[in-house]
Homo-oligomer: A and B are copies of this chain.
Amino acid sequence: MPTPSMEDYIEQIYMLIEEKGYARVSDIAEALSVHPSSVTKMVQKLDKDEYLVYEKYRGFSLTTKGNKIGKRLVFRHDLLEQFLKIIGVKDENIYNDVEGIEHHLSWDSIERIVDLVQFFQEDETRIEALKEIQRQNEAD
């Protein structure tokens, strides 16, 4: 099992590869707001644990295992963003909150949140009713 921090890296690497075809140390450092030296260290660990194949100075690519996990992590991340958006969390809080919680929810909870998102998406009046409650609660 990857640690939360390892998940951050796998997720980010997966996204970079999806979007640009490759992932470089400096891109990851930039995206995660850490220093390149931290990235190198973690990439070496992810290689050891077989989430990716690392070649010093040359780059790396996800293994089948790493790719599969990356895909799920991105799915989970996107789902949680959607969820917080739907319930009305301010945009400026969404990224940090998702970043914080994504590594700590069981897949049971994730599946229940899938259902919940669907619940709101399949009937607009539900979102309206929630917004009405929010308006009332604001007045305190």
Binding site for B on A (CB under 8 A): 84, 87-90, 93, 96-97, 99-101, 103-106, 108-109, 111-116, 118-119, 122-123, 126, 129-130, 133-134, 137
Contact = CB atoms under 8 A, between A and B. Distances in A.
A14 B135 CA distance: 32
**Taking chain A's interface residues, is the majority helix, strand, or loop, or is none over half, making it mixed?**
helix
A90 B108 CA distance: 7
How many identical chains are in the complex? 2
A107 B94 CA distance: 11
A33 B72 CA distance: 30
Given A84-B112, A122-B133, 9 more contacts: A89-B108, A93-B106, A96-B106, A97-B106, A99-B104, A101-B101, A104-B104, A114-B137, A126-B126
